[in-house]
Amino acid sequence: METDANPTLLADFKTASYEEWKVAAEALLKGAPFEKKMLTPTPEGITLQPIYRREDLSAAPAAQTLPGFDEFTRGSHADGYRVKPWEIAQELPYGEPAEFNQIALRDMFRGQDALNVTFDIATLKGLDPDSAKDGEVCACGLSIASLRDFSRAFQGIMPTAISIYFQAGCAGAPIQALFKAWLAEQKGVDLKDIKGGLGLDPISVLASAGALPTAIEQLYDEMYAVAKSNAEEMPNFSAVGVSGLPYSSAGGSATQELGAVLATGVEYLRALTKRGMDISTAAKQIRFTLTIGGDFFMELAKIRAARQLWARIVKELGGDKEAQIMKLHARTGFNNKTKHDPYANMLRTATEALCGVVGGVDSLTVGAFDEIIRVPDEFSRRIARNTQIILQEECELTAVVDPAGGSWYIENLTNQVAEKAWEIFQKIEAAGGVYEALQGKVIQDMIAEVAKSKVKAVGQRRMSLVGTNQYPNLEEKSLDARIPDYVTLRFKRSMELERQRISCDEDTDKAILKLLGEIQSADAGDKLAKLVAAVEAGASLGEVSRALRANAEEPICIQALPNRRLAEIYEELRAASAAYKLKNGHGPKIFLTNLEKLKRHKLRADFTRSFFETGGFEIVPSAGFTDTDEAVKALEASGAKITVVCGCDPDYAAMGADFMKAIKAKLPDVKVILAGFPGDNEEAFKAAGMDDFIFIKSDNYATNRKYLELLGVL
């Protein structure tokens, strides 16, 4: 700020150098190593600095670009969200077509502006309800067995008014046929006005399920047929999806997810161009989905780096400028969500949604806070949807283009994420591409190593999950599971399809059989048209799927990526403790042998309570003791088989050994634990009866599990 009186106001203030700041920081550390205390390693293999400076931009050339230009690091569009905000593309995991339709219409009237359709297990397998198993029908998404089902699910929905995205997996061709047959029923609809995507993504299915319904080359033939048709007739409706969810849900790092996603995109480009499609057309047929995890800045950098690297890949392969723009959807992840203190998931998804928006995604799904526990209801859907609406309409995030742009930290981190993800991409390519890398367990082993380190960090509480390994609330009331009756749903859906079949006359049955035979004998380029004709005549999804793959080769089976959440190890402990309490009338007990007055033992007593409540232990408090006999009597009356001595270091030195000896003399089977690091007194305390000690560096999960096993809870 300059004034006439002092035009160089800032010159009056001395600028501190980095070296001066570091000296001041080291002084505050009081001898602790700067590198150990101030540098932060991440699962991505990136070391975060405590402070970033203008000099750090020298390693991030994208910081000098503008949104909508060059490699699109700073956004795909020059105007950001100012003209067109990101699409609110919530998932509606409801199985029955009529229920799905009712909820979709209701939610679109309340702010949702894109449909993101998940399908049940049976539909994704190409099975009709009567051919599927219990638990596969209406599970995790919409059950579609016929054109009648599709019409019922989308009744009243204007296909040109919103974007429609399907997560079709390997069932892309049959679902595309149903979709096109339904569109044909909508009079006056121009296919060029249809926006969205089919989401045909066999590699994602292979990674998460470990198997495919047929050989990969046949699936690529189907992919090409759909992509070619869409490019000619529905240019704004992409055929192919690439999802990073299997890698994130398995515990992979941000860079591992991005590397695998890029490798999958390249795999699909090769498959399409090998069959005759030019690179620009092929690239425009692919839409990506990235998962947003809990590390805000790392995930933000991942989104920005994804656009940069994909643009670079397509450019090197000869794609035009428009083809270099990554179609990018994002979804809040599952890996960091918790069953305990579930309302904290609202806060997690809110920050993840903010991350996606600041990163510049084209569309976004915010998961319901209770989606890992039960089928979301109207309340949880409303909270998730309104998270996005608030970001659009109250937070003014649509008013600024690339709000993260120019940040020394974010620009530098984006560059580092891009470099690390590119290394992983090259490793996958060196293994023969993503398909071969999954067969050879290259990706599985790589992710398993990082996932193991994350679980270890959670167990040691170096990574926090509020309400689970930090600040647990044993008084919380669990949410009603509200699991649908899948046996009844399968029977109901089977009967609906059976009535539809019975209603067909003989001529219709003959026509359907004729069309199904034509699907089997049709050339690859004609199969999609034959599929559409068959479903229009009344064929079911299962029937056209069997006809499409009548000569299917035996597909390979691989080791699937696990679907795990970080909180699961603690949820197992808490479930065991809850079952113990139900049987015995109380939880597994730990008695606090507190020494002296409250102010002398409170700090370690609170630490102990938090430490063991993560495992579901019932903590029995006590007033501060100065008399060993009183302490032993109180411990004995509590019925606890474990006690933790809590106090301050001077009191430990003065009376800690006496209390331990007294407890062991009267109650030799009780385990005595010290709260705090014993230091030089460790041998003396062991001799007095100390069995164990806990302190800030203790492995919280391992310790809780050890003592639950000791009590027979596990």
* CA-based max dimension of the chain: 97
Q: Residue 194 falls within a domain, yes or no?
A: yes
DSSP structure string for 206-234: HHHHSB-SS-HHHHHHHHHHHHHHHHHH-
Give the mean model confidence (pLDDT) for residues 218-232.
96
Residue 493 has pLDDT above 80, yes or no: yes
Confidence bin at 8 (pLDDT 50/70/90):
low
Q: Quick one: how many helices (H) and strands (E) in the chain?
A: 28, 15
For 16-41, what is the mean pLDDT? 92
β-sheet bridge partners, residue 195: 163
Task: Tell me if 582 is assigned to some domain.
Answer: yes
Q: Are strands 642-646 and 671-675 parallel, antiparallel or unpaired?
A: parallel
Phi-psi region of 664 (alpha: psi -120 to 50; beta: other; left: phi over 0): alpha
Give the dihedral of Cα atoms 69, 73, 78, 83; nearest 10 deg.
150
With beta carbons less than 8 A apart as the criterion, state whether 390 and 366 touch: no
Q: How confident is the model at residue 5 (pLDDT cuts 50, 70, 90)?
A: low
**Structure tokens of 17?**
């150098």
Residue 571 · residue 340 · CB < 8 Å: yes
- Phi and psi at 396, nearest 5°, equal 60, 25
Mean pLDDT of all residues in the chain? 95
| Residue 659 · residue 629 · CB < 8 Å | no
> pLDDT category, 188, cuts 50, 70, 90?
confident
Q: Are 610 and 653 in contact (CB under 8 A)?
A: no
4 inside domain: no
pLDDT of residue 62: 87
Residue 283 near residue 240 (C-beta atoms within 8 A): no
- Residue where a domain terminates, one of 425, 459, 493: 459
Q: Which distant-in-sequence residues (6+ apart) come within 8 Å of 484 by Cβ?
A: 95, 138, 139, 375
DSSP-derived secondary structure letter, 654: I
Mean pLDDT of 286-296: 97
Per-residue pLDDT at 344 exceeds 90: yes
Q: Is the pLDDT of residue 2 over 70?
A: no
Quick check: 616 and 576 in contact, CB under 8 A? yes
Same domain for 579 and 438, yes or no, is no
**Residue 525 belongs to some domain of the structure:** no
Buried b (16+ CB within 10 A) or exposed e, 455-469: beebbbbebebebbb
pLDDT reported for residue 116? 97
The pLDDT value recorded for residue 6 is 62
Distances (CA, A) of 102 to 107, 108, 109, 113, 138: 9, 10, 11, 15, 16
Give the burial class of 65: count Cβ atoms within 10 A of its Cβ; 0-12 exposed, 13-18 middle, 19 or more buried: middle
What does the alpha-carbon distance between residue 504 and residue 486 come to, in Å, rounded to a whole number? 28
Residue 552 placed within a domain: no
CATH at 281: 3.20.20.240
Amino acid (1-letter code) at residue 304: R
- For the chain, how big is the Rg over CA atoms in Å? 30
Q: In a 10 Å sphere around its CB, with 0-12 CB exposed, 13-18 middle and 19+ buried, how is residue 553 labelled? A: exposed
**Residue 47 domain-assigned?**
no
Per-residue confidence band for 508, with pLDDT thresholds at 50, 70 and 90 = confident
Distance CA(67)–CA(443), nearest Å, equals: 33
The DSSP call for residue 197 is: E
Mean pLDDT in residue range 627-648: 96
Q: Indicate the pLDDT class of residue 229, thresholds 50, 70 and 90.
A: very high
Q: Which residue has the tokens 């591992």?
A: 256
700 Cβ contact partners less than 8 Å away, ≥ 6 residues apart = 459, 460, 461, 469, 611, 614
Residue 198 lies in a domain: yes
Task: Tell me the residue range of the domain where 93 lies.
Answer: 61-459
Alpha carbon distance 475, 498 (integer Å) = 49
Question: How far, in Å, CA of 335 to CA of 95, rounded?
Answer: 24
Angle between helices 657-666 and 628-638 (to 10 degrees): 50
Q: Is 575 exposed, middle or buried (0-12, 13-18, 19+ CB in 10 A)?
A: middle
Picking from 459, 487, 503, the residue at the C-terminal end of a domain is: 459
Residue 75 falls within a domain, yes or no?
Answer: yes
Contact 65, 74 (CB under 8 A): yes
Do 534 and 519 meet the contact criterion of CB atoms below 8 Å apart?
yes
Contact of 242 with 182, CB cutoff 8 Å:
no
d(CA 699, CA 686): 20
- Does residue 489 contact residue 100 with C-beta atoms inside 8 Å? no
Confidence of residue 536 (pLDDT cuts 50, 70, 90): very high
Q: Are residues 377 and 248 in the same domain?
A: yes
Domain count, the chain: 2
The confidence band for 489, taking pLDDT boundaries of 50, 70 and 90, is very high
Q: Are residues 87 and 215 in the same domain?
A: yes
Q: Is the pTM of this model over 0.85?
A: yes
Single-letter amino acid, residue 314? V
Instruction: State the Cα–Cα distance between residues 104 and 95, nearest whole angstrom.
Output: 12
Q: Are residues 573 and 697 in the same domain?
A: yes
For 508, the token pair is 């219709």
Task: Report the percentage of the chain scoring pLDDT > 90.
Answer: 91
pLDDT in tens, 472-486: 999 999 999 888 999
Q: Which residues of 235-254 are buried (b: 16+ CB within 10 A; e: fewer)?
A: eebbbbbbbbbbbbbbbbbb
Q: Is the dihedral of CA 181, 182, 187, 192 positive or negative?
A: negative
- Asked if the model's pLDDT at residue 1 lies above 50, the reply is no
Sign for the pseudo-dihedral over CA of 145, 149, 153, 158: positive
The answer to whether 639 touches 591, Cβ cutoff 8 Å, is: no
User: Measured between alpha carbons, how far is 372 from 75 in angstroms, rounded to an integer?
Assistant: 32
- Cα→Cα distances 524→225, 253, 266, Å: 7, 39, 23
Q: Domain with 584 in it: what CATH number?
A: 3.40.50.280
Structure tokens at 29: 């550390």
> Residue 428: CB partners within 8 Å, gap ≥ 6?
259, 260, 263, 434, 437, 442, 443
Residue 3 has pLDDT above 80, yes or no: no
Cα 617 from Cα 620, distance rounded (Å): 9
Residue among 74, 66, 82, 65 nearest 400 (CA): 82
> In the listed set 459, 482, 498, which residue is the last one of a domain according to the structure?
459
Q: To which H or E segment does residue 44 belong? A: none
Is 572 found in the same domain as 438? no
User: Going edge to edge, which strands form the sheet with 642-646?
Assistant: 618-620, 589-594, 642-646, 671-675, 692-694
Task: Check whether 4 has a pLDDT greater than 70.
Answer: no
- Provide CB contacts within 8 A for 495, sequence distance 6+: none
Q: pLDDT > 70: what percent of the chain?
A: 99
The pairing of beta strand 671-675 with beta strand 692-694: parallel
Q: What is the mean pLDDT of residues 121-145?
A: 95
To the nearest 10 degrees (0 to 180), the angle between helices 216-233 and 524-537 is: 80
What are the tokens at 501?
């079949």
User: What is the enclosing helix (H) or strand (E) of 83?
Assistant: none
